Amino acid sequence: SQQGEEDPQALSIQEGENATMNCSYKTSINNLQWYRQNSGRGLVHLILIRSNEREKHSGRLRVTLDTSKKSSSLLITASRAADTASYFCATDARGAQKLVFGQGTRLTINP
AA letter at 8:
P
Determine what percent of the chain falls in helix, strand and coil, rounding each to the nearest 5.
Answer: 5, 60, 40
**3-class SS of residue 59:** coil
Using the rule CB under 8 A, is 92 a contact of other proteins?
yes
Q: How far is CA 87 from CA 3, 34, 74, 94, in A?
A: 15, 7, 9, 23
- Our CB check for other proteins shows the closer of 15 and 31 to be 31
| Interface region with other proteins, contact rule CB under 8 A, candidates 13-21, 34-42, 64-72, 73-81 | 34-42
Using the rule CB under 8 A, is 63 a contact of other proteins?
no
- Our CB check for other proteins shows the closer of 42 and 111 to be 42
Min CB(45)–other proteins separation in Å:
5
